[in-house]
Amino acid sequence: MSRFEPRRFLLGLAAPVLALLVAVLVTSLILVITGDPVADVWSQMLKAPKPGQATDMINNAVVLYFSAIAVAIGFRMNLFNIGVDGQYRVAAFAAAAVGGQALLPGPLNIVLILLVAMATGALWAGIAAWLKVTRGVSEVISTIMLNSIATGVVAWLLAKVAAEQSAGSNDIGTKRLPDSSHLDGFVLLAGTQKKVYGLIVLAVVVGFLYWFVINRTRFGYDLRATGRSESAAVASGVNVKRMVLSSMLLSGAVAGMVGLPLLLGENYNYGTDFQAGLGFSGIAIALIGRNNAIGIALGALLWSYLDKQAVTLPIATDVDDSIVKIIQGVMVLAVVIAYEVVRRLGKRIEQQQVTRELAAQDRQPVAEGASA
């Protein structure tokens, strides 16, 4: 038996494809029931995006990618960091406030912004980790609560440090980053002036590091072992409390990066109009991408594609763009179910294969030993 098994690969691919089909089916059904034009909606959704739109999709996906990786770090050891949403907002605010002061010249300020964002995200997630390790508080509960606390804290601090209000707007925000701290990115797709966020590079680096640390390092092994069986991990010498603390801090640090592409490449400050809710999409994308660095990238692109295609839906078809939320929701549910079904199926097939191959070995005892 070889390392690479086409069957396992196909099984892995079957789950997301199946989930997508189910999502399409259920959504179509809903459209039929509500008497909406099914064909029109799908032709609109499947219309090839223009280069400008495509760039938007990529940019949105970059942001979602950080969010989903942050969630996935926790998932890999059965930690549910529902608090990415709060973590990135607190982090983005802190980074914007510090960055706006222009304490360091040029690119150094960008590095400072990055570090402040990571540290703040880690700190905010660290509260939940600390509560879990010392008091046994479920991280699900504490991170959800910290999300809501984050909203309050950021609003309050924003009012304190707010720079001048722009004329005719109720929006307040932190001081604008100096021009030298802007990362406007670069034009990726021909046929548009729109630029892809410069931090797409950071996303690729984070994705690679995520894969490398989880799969290639001792720390990653301990983390995965804890996720697979905490009791076995403890018996193998893993200090589970320390693992909870460090993985939560890592997750928070990555969560801290979620807002940076927006801060450095689009908004240049943190204001009341800063995009919210990115943390929750991250949970869904981590599920769809199966905590896999590449899978999450594809999931983020798909998610972002659906988000952006929906924008024109009401104009073109008179169907509200909330239908996309239904597609996304059904997809996540279907994907979770499909993965579990595929996992069980794979397990059963493997068991049968082992029995079969052992029986075959028994019949010809000359060919001894394990053939790897």
Partner 1 sequence: MPSTGTAVELHGITKRFPGVVANKDVEIVVRTGTVHAVVGENGAGKSTLMKILYGVQRPDEGTITVNGQQVDLRSPTDAIKAGIGMVFQHFMLADNLTVLENVVLGAEKLHGIGAGARKEIERISQAYGLGIRPGDLVADLGVGARQRVEILKVLYRGAKILILDEPTAVLVPQEVDELFDNLAELKSEGLTVLFISHKLDEVLKVADEITVIRRGTTVQTVDPKSVTARRLAELMVGSELPTPQTEDSTVTDEVALRIEGVTLGASAGPKVLDGIDLTIHAGEVVGIAGVEGNGQAELVEVVMGMRDANAGTIMFGHTDITDWHTREIREAGIGYIPEDRHRHGLLLDAPLWENRILGHQTEEPNVNGLLIDAKDAKRDTDRIVQEYDVRTPSIFVTAGSLSGGNQQKLIIGREMSHTPKVLVAAHPTRGVDVGAQSAIWDHIRAARREGLGVLLISADLDELIGLSDTIRVILRGRLSGEFDPDTVTAEELGAAMTGADTGTHADTKEEGA
Q: Which of 221, 272, 275, 276 forms a contact with partner 1 (CB under 8 A)?
A: 221
Q: Which residues contact 300 (CB under 8 A, 6 or more apart)?
A: 61, 62, 64, 65, 68, 285, 289
Q: Does 241 bind partner 1 (CB under 8 A)?
A: no
Q: Does 167 bind partner 1 (CB under 8 A)?
A: no
User: Tokens 């406007």, residue?
Assistant: 184
CA distance 79 to 230: 11
Concatenated DSSP letters for 229-275? -HHHHHHTT--HHHHHHHHHHHHHHHHHHTTHHHIIIIISS-BTTS-
- For residue 106, count other CB atoms closer than 10 A to its CB: 12
Nearer to partner 1, 240 or 326 (CB): 240
Q: How far is the CB of 224 from partner 1 (least distance, A)?
A: 8
Q: How far is the CB of 235 from partner 1 (least distance, A)?
A: 4
Q: Does 220 bind partner 1 (CB under 8 A)?
A: yes
Q: Does 340 bind partner 1 (CB under 8 A)?
A: no
Q: Does 218 bind partner 1 (CB under 8 A)?
A: yes
Q: Does 352 bind partner 1 (CB under 8 A)?
A: yes
Nearest to 331 by CA among 365, 307, 359, 366: 307
- For residue 97, count other CB atoms closer than 10 A to its CB: 21
Q: How far is the CB of 28 from partner 1 (least distance, A)?
A: 35
Q: Does 211 bind partner 1 (CB under 8 A)?
A: no
Nearer to partner 1, 165 or 239 (CB): 239
Q: Does 372 bind partner 1 (CB under 8 A)?
A: yes
Nearer to partner 1, 315 or 359 (CB): 359
Helix (H) or strand (E) holding 285: helix 278-288
CA distance 226 to 242: 11
User: Tokens 């969630």, residue?
Assistant: 71
Q: Does 78 bind partner 1 (CB under 8 A)?
A: no
Q: How far is the CB of 320 from partner 1 (least distance, A)?
A: 42
Nearer to partner 1, 47 or 216 (CB): 216
CA distance 9 to 11: 5
By the criterion CB under 8 A, which residues form the site for partner 1? 1-3, 216-222, 224-225, 228-229, 231-232, 234-239, 347, 349-359, 361, 369-372
